[in-house]
């Protein structure tokens, strides 16, 4: 009986040491899983901080914008809206972008061929032409009937200006947790 107790205690000791070692090894190999909670907490606290930012003409702190800049640059971008596009939606979409960035949009009554600007036209798809043909050319943003809303106009405008979709950024894995089962299978290739 004493021999069985000794063997049982040795077996338990070896099992505990082995399992504890496996657990420590698992923690080291899966440190990213443990850090996800910390990243989420930091992200939530940063979002709460954003709500406290001021937004007036004299003192603008923008989201994801360096607040230490002494000489703030204001960039004016001319834009033209063709007659078959809802100009009120375009104006409102650009006004929202203007409030949140250092960009300023100036509406043009006609397109000047030798200047550069944004041209909003009606099309079959909602797209923006990012190809660089010449420096002095109006960049076309096509607005279809199914995407004639403020969000789509803002998305295509920002895309044309060089902003990258969040899911396409090289550092997306640091900030995004994609749940692929929630993504429509037709759009999965975009992620």
Quick check: 154 and 97 in contact, CB under 8 A?
yes
CA gap 119, 125 in Å, rounded: 15
Q: Cα 104 to chain center, whole Å?
A: 21
In sequence order, the β-bridge partners of residue 107 are 79
Query: β-pairing, 103-107 with 75-81?
Result: parallel
Give the active site residues.
Answer: 156
Q: How far apart are CA 30 and CA 26, in angstroms?
A: 6
């Amino acid at each position: 009986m004493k021999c069985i107790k000794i063997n049982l205690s040795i077996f338990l000791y070896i099992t505990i040491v082995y399992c504890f070692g496996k657990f420590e090894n698992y923690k080291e190999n899966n440190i990213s899983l443990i850090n996800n909670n910390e990243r989420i907490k930091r992200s939530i606290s940063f979002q709460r901080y954003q709500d406290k930012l001021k937004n007036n003409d004299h003192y603008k702190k923008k989201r994801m914008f360096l607040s230490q800049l002494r000489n703030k640059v204001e960039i004016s971008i001319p834009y033209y809206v063709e007659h078959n596009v809802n100009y009120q939606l375009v104006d409102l979409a650009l006004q929202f972008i203007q409030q949140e960035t250092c960009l300023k949009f100036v509406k043009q009554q006609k397109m000047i061929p030798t200047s550069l600007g944004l041209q909003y036209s009606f099309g079959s798809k909602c797209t923006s032409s990012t190809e660089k043909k010449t420096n002095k050319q109006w960049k076309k943003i096509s607005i279809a009937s199914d995407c004639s809303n403020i969000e789509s106009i803002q998305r295509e405008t920002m895309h044309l200006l060089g902003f990258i979709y969040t899911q396409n950024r090289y550092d997306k894995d640091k900030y995004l947790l994609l749940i692929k089962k929630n993504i429509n299978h037709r759009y999965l290739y975009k992620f």
